[in-house]
Structure formats: structure tokens, C-alpha cells
Structure 1
Amino acid sequence: MPTVHAPSSRPTAVPGLLVATSGALVALAAAHLMPGTSPLLVAIVLGVVVANAGLPAAATCVLEPGLGVASKRLLRVGVALLGLQLAVSELADLGWGTALVAATVVVAGIGGSLAFGRWLGVGWTQRLLIACGFSICGAAAAAAVDGVIDSRKRELVTTVALVVVFGTAMIPLVPLVAELCGLGPRTAGLWAGAAIHEVAQVVATGTALDAAAGGVLAAAVTVKLARVALLAPVVSIIGVVARRRGDARGDDEAPPIMPFFLLGFLACVALRSTGLLGPLALDTAQTVQTALLTTAMFALGAGVRREVLRGVGWRPIALAAAATVWVAAVALAGVLSVSPR
């Protein structure tokens, strides 16, 4: 008599993905009701709350596969789609001086932040995530770096939370300091694009400054995207360094120096540069990108338990504050060298 095999019960990602999507929808709605609030920060806080709400162990096991998909695959797709915000022609319109300022901010920002972190005693992977997140493009940069180094989930979650909190604080601070320093609206906009962490935060600041003089928002966002353009080469260099240090992500086989999602990022830049995509397609892609990153942030937050949060300490917070001030100072010096007040 033939043996009847019971169907294998493989874990499904559906429950976790549904929970992460629901959390993202709540975060997006909250951000819509409270202008200036980042949905990424709301999502990550919601995820932490859910993770520490005393869910039964069985429920946690059911949700884990889907949360893992959201925190890795959806996150990387969101980073790739970020390339659709960047056109090569826009970078060319900046001029060599402003483009050099953006490159200087990224290089000096990362170098200075790593030095501060070393002095504070912050671990290499944590300070690298903070340095790149604060110097390039916030959560997307931190996620990209996390793809090539062997960092802990807690370190990525901490970095994302810090980059969103400190970047959001800069939204009112940059216009205030710009006014105290006597900067004109366009110069202030260039400074915002060169100094603030997240693209969305730059848009919020540039919108406020644009009321004083037209074209400020476009200038701020273009400078910011010039920093975003350096994401792929920076992560490739970090991948090489991580391999040499033995800190590359992966156990049996080292990951490629240029991860596939960064190749997708470059492909999206190329597609945007062709001019084939209209405003509707670009707006839709940006909405999808925000939704994916928000879903991923909820999943990342859901992976952090109470006992893990206790071990964060004050050092990453101090590094985040130092990195914010340092990047803003380098950006201001650079902008003043190429733009009159």
C-alpha cells in the first residue's frame, strides 16, 4: 500500500506582509494628518510598539516570515525606485561648483562622522550606518549600506529613527538659521538640499522657503538628488572595504560589490534620464516608493524587542547630533563658496 505523505507546512509570508502593510497605511495616514511628520518615523515607532505589545510567541512566529520579506526585499525595491527621482540632465544643470559642494558634503560628512563615532566609542557598523544615512539620503542610504555590511537589525532601526528625528528637526531650524545669518532664499534652499538628511525633509523645507522666492524648492531638491547620485559608488566602496575587513554581509558567499538593488537604482536613473516617463508616472512611482519604504520601516521596527532597545545607549544619539551639526556646517561653507548670500 503506497505511503501517503502529508503536505508540508511551509511558513507563508502573507500574514506578516498584511500586518506590515496595515501599519504602513496607518503611518501614511498619520503623516497626512500631521504635516511635517515623516511616515517612516511613525511606521518604525508603530512597529516597535507592536513588537513589544506582548503578542503570543505563536503569533510572532506566524508574522516573522512576512516581516522579513518587508524589511529586506520591499526596502531594497524602494531604494531602487529612488533613482526615478534623479535625472542626469538635472545634475548637469547644477554646474560644477554646486555638484562639487554635494560631493564634498558626502565625502567630508562620512569621514567626519566616522571620526566622531570612533572617538565616542560607537561600533564600526553602527557609525557607518549613521555616517552614510546623515551624509547621503537618510533611511535609503542606511538600508543600502546595511545590504553590504554585517550589521545588526537593531543598528539599522536605530539609524533610521535617528536620521528621521534629527532631519525633521532641521526643517524649521534651517530657515531660522538662514534668516539669522542673512542668507537669501535661494542660498538657503541650496543649503537645505546640501545639509538635510531625507529627500522628503528637503521638500518640506524648500516648500517653506519657496514662498519667499520662486525656484527655491527646485534648487534644494536638485542639490539633494546630487547627493543621492553618490549612493551607488559609496556603497560599492564600502562593499570592498567590508570584504577586506571580513564584515561583508553573507555567511558562505560574499555578496556582490554592487548589490542588485543598486543596479536597479542606476537603471531607474537611466530610465528617468531618457524623458520617457511623464509626470503622472513619476508621481506614481514616488508614491509607490514611499509606501514600500514605510512598510519596510514598520517591519524593521517590529523586529526590535524591548530588551534590544535597552542596549542602544547614548553614544549613537550623540553621534547623530554631531553628524547633523558637522554635515550642516560643511554644507553651509560649501554653499557660501559658490552662491552669494
Structure 2
Amino acid sequence: MSSEVRNLPESTADRLPEAATTGAPSAGSARGRWAGVTAGVALCVVGAAVAMGIGRLVPAVNPMLIAIVAGALVSNLVAVPGWIKPGLDFSAKRLLRVGVALLGLQLMFSDVVGLGWGVIAVVVAIVALGIAGTLYLGKLLGLSWTQRVLIACGFSICGAAAVAATDGVVGAKEEELLTAVALVVVFGTLMIPAIPLLSGAFGLTDSQAGMWAGGSIHEVAQVVAAGGMIGGGALAVATVVKLARVLMLAPVMAYLGARQRRAAQGAAEERTQPPLVPLFVIGFLACVALRSSGLLPQAALDLARLAQTALLTTAMFALGLGVRVGLLRAVGPRPFVLAAASTVWVAGIALVGTVLVA
């Protein structure tokens, strides 16, 4: 995996008016680049702060989802200066990876083991079959491998964070990344009312409904919202099952990293081979181990949770700035068809597994 951070697509710069860059620092100079990084990161931090403030006022809505939507609104309503792109790239890539690593502090190995081997097997099946089925359906639709794998991992593991983490390993096109993030928001949000309603229609108990929610809904925040709607003991079960899916991020990223490394072996010698295991995945596992050790006091965990939320929200605002109506219109209906099919596929696997073991 290349350590370089890719720029936003050329179409972003093309759509900017000349006035947007008038008087801006020269992007070709080191001073101009640092100014662009500083300004871009500052914009994303402000966007994240606003999103987190709204999240406090409306606890039912996760600030990361607010940040994506807010970034998309800004991008489509305001001409974002092209010279700040280095800062947007830094926020969407580097800060995102740190935030994903800190996500490990929300999970303890004992929580996963406490689910029981039957539930663990269901979680593994959801992720493995979810990814495999989505990749196959995407191939039938004629989508690129990178687009398919972004949607597959986002819908099968943990939403936008998984999409961005996967992009950090496979190096997809920017429009593919942004499309996958937008699809996670749309279809994951639709799942929030759908799972509680269908759980009642199917006669599931609160525990079963919680397991189904945790096993099928894309984002952690979306799972929490659905679990709260179900009530009873559903929220606790849903959260732990979802975090078990988050833990699967590590082996999946390690596999993709090894795959990319093998693919790079036939390239020119001067080309840098991707690492066998991405550094942020090692950081994620280290954070899980640290949390499982019991060495961190609650105050440190609370601070780390705040930092993780702030970093991921900042990254999601940066990603949202790249989501444009014209881009989504240009990619055509096939990614949307795959997203809908993947949602149904993953939810179906989770429902069968829930009925069998819960």
C-alpha cells in the first residue's frame, strides 16, 4: 500500500472558479502546501465541531453521520478553494486511520468471547459471506473490483470507517470511495427503522432483534439507534455483536494487504510494495489488547473515546466534502443496485444466524 495520500479528483479542481484560488498560496511550494494542509484541516475541524455540537443537542443522531451530510451540503452549495485540498486529504486519510486505530479501545476480547462460539461463528459468517456475496454480485453488475470491495467491506463490517480503511489498503479511485461512503449513509439510515419494524413482524424477542440489528446494520451509531428503538435488552446485545463485526476489520484488512502485496510483486522493482499488515490495523489490535488488559482507567477511556469520535468526525466531514450530486449521478445506478442487494444479503445472513443460535 502506497503511503502517499491521493488528491481529490481532478473534477473537484475543475469546478472551482478562478476567484477561489486568487491570492491563494502557491500549491507548488512547500510553504503553500503547508498552508493548504493547515487551512484544510482547520475547515474539517470546524465542520466536525459543529457536527459534534448538533450531536449533543440531538443524541439520537451520530455526529459522524451529521458530518458526512454537512460536508456534502457545503461541497454542493459552496465553491471549496482548490488550494486547501492537501488538508482535506490529510483529514480524510491520516486522521481517519488514527481514529480507526482508537476504535479498538471500545472493544474487549472478553466481550466477544462472552457472546459464545455460536454467535461468534455467525459474526464471522456475516462478514465473510457478506463480502463474498457482494463481490460476486458486483462482478455480475460489471463494477470494478475496487468499487465492489469498498461496498462489500463497508456493508459487511462497520460502515464508512471500513470503507475508508479499505481504501487505504486497495487504493480505489476517489469517486469510488465517495460513492461507497454515500451509500453507507443512505442504506444504513434506512435500516434504523426497518430492523425494529421487521423484528416485530417476525416475532423476534428483544435479544434476537438486538442480535439481528448488530449483525446487519452498517454503522455502529446506526446500530445504537436501532437498538434503542427496539428497547429492552436489545441495545446491549446489538452493540456487542456490532463491535464483534468491527473486530473483523483487522483480519480482513490484513488479507487485503497481503493480496495487494502479492499483486505488486510483479510490478517494477522501484515500486514500493504495500505492507503485509497496514500500520493502522496493528494500532487497532494494540488498542483492543490495551483495553482488554484493564490497565486504562475509565477517565483515560472516556478521553480516548472523545478523541476517536473527534478524529473520525473530522475525517467524515472531509469525505463529505467530496460527495457531490453530479458525481453520484455520473456513477450510474449500478452501485446503488449493489448497495441495496448487499444490504438485503447481509441482513438475510444475520437473520438466519440469529434464528439458529439466539
Give the TM-score of the pair, scaled to structure 1.
0.89
What is the CA-CA distance between 1:202 and the residue it aligns to? 1.2
Shift of 1:221: 1.1
Give the equivalent residue in structure 1 for 2:23: none
Q: Share of identical aligned residues, percent? A: 54
- Structure 1 residue 302 corresponds to structure 2 residue 325: no
Number of the residue aligned with 1:4: none
**Which 10-residue stretch deviates more, 9-18 or 327-336?**
9-18
| 1:26 aligned onto 2:44 | no
Give the whole-Å Cα distance in 1 for the aligned partners of 2:39 and 2:55.
24
Task: Identify the residue that residue 158 of structure 1 maps to in structure 2.
Answer: 179
C-alpha spacing 1:41/1:157, structure 2 compared with 1 (3 Å): farther
| SS of match in other structure, 1:148 | helix
Could you tell me which residue of structure 1 aligns to residue 7 of structure 2?
A: none
Letter in 1 for 2:229: A
RMSD: 2.3
Q: Deviation string for 1:252-307 (max 9, x for gaps)?
A: 31220211111110110000001122333323322221221111111123245665
SS at match of 2:276: coil
Task: Give me the whole-angstrom Cα distance separating, in 1, the residues matched to 2:324 and 2:205.
Answer: 46
Change beyond 3 A, Cα 1:312–1:31: farther
CA distance in 2, matches of 1:8, 1:264: 30
Q: What CA distance in whole angstroms lies between the structure 2 residues aligned with 1:9 and 1:133?
A: 37
Distance apart, 1:320 and its partner CA? 0.7
Structure 1 residue 228 displacement after superposition = 1.1
Shift of 1:220: 1.2
Please report how far the alpha carbon of residue 203 of structure 1 lies from its aligned counterpart in structure 2 after TM superposition: 1.3
Match status 1:17 vs 2:36: no
User: Contact 1:41 / 1:165 at 8 angstroms: preserved in 2?
Assistant: no
Residue pairs, 1:41-56, within 5 angstroms:
41-53=65-77, 55=79
| 1:201 equivalent in alignment to 2:201 | no
In 2, distance between residues paired with 1:280 and 1:178?
A: 37
Encode CA deviations 1:196-249: one digit per residue, 9 max, x unaligned: 111111111222223xx3x3322111111111111111111112223344599x
> In structure 1, what is the Cα distance between the partners aligned to 2:78 and 2:239?
42
Counterpart position of 2:274: 255
Q: Provide structure 1 residue ranges, at least 5 long, that are not aligned to the other structure.
A: 1-6
Inter-CA distance 308–208: structure 2 relative to 1 (3 Å threshold): closer
Matches within 5 A, 1:47-196: 47-53=71-77, 55=79, 59-61=81-83, 63-196=84-217
Shift of 1:40: 2.8
Greater alpha carbon shift after TM alignment, 63-72 vs 302-311:
302-311
Q: Which residue identity lines up with residue 254 of structure 1 in the other structure?
A: Q
Cα distance in 2 for partners of 1:175, 1:270 equals 33
C-alpha spacing 1:246/1:183, structure 2 compared with 1 (3 Å): same
CA, structure 1 residues 169+74, in 2 after alignment: closer, same or farther (shift >3 Å)? same
Match of 2:306 in 1: 287
1:228 alignment partner AA: V
Change (3 A) 1:304 1:169: closer
Q: Is the 8 A contact 2:265 2:273 kept in 1?
A: no
SS at match of 1:98: helix
Q: Per the alignment, in what secondary structure is the counterpart of residue 40 of structure 2?
A: helix
Secondary structure, aligned partner of 2:31:
coil
Preserved contact between residue 190 and residue 219 of structure 1 (Cα < 8 Å): yes
Q: Is the 8 A contact 1:70 1:295 kept in 2?
A: yes
CA, structure 1 residues 308+182, in 2 after alignment: closer, same or farther (shift >3 Å)?
Answer: closer
Equivalent in the alignment of 1:329? 348
CA change 1:39–1:165 in 2 (3 A) is farther
What CA distance in whole angstroms lies between the structure 2 residues aligned with 1:32 and 1:234?
33
Distance in 2, matches of 1:54 and 1:182, equals: 48
Select which of 284, 292, 295 maps to 1:265. 284
1:147-183 superposed Cα distances (whole Å, 9 cap, x missing partner): 1112012211211121122112111111110100000
Cross-structure match for 2:21 = none
Tell me which of 225, 230, 241 is aligned to 2:248: 230
2:273 matched to 1:239?
Answer: no
Asked whether the equivalents of residues 153 and 300 of structure 1 are also in contact (C-alpha less than 8 Å), the reply is: no
1:42 is displaced (CA, Å) by 2.9
Q: CA deviation at 1:30?
A: 3.3
**Contact persistence 2:101–2:281 (CA under 8 A):** yes
What is the deviation of 1:54?
5.3
Contact conserved, 2:260 with 2:274, CA < 8 A, in 1?
no
Please state how far the C-alpha of 1:28 moved relative to its aligned partner: 2.4
Cα distance in 2 for partners of 1:123, 1:36 equals: 36
Please tell me whether the aligned partners of residues 23 and 298 of structure 1 are also in contact (alpha carbons under 8 angstroms): yes
Indicate whether 1:39 and 2:63 are aligned. Answer: yes
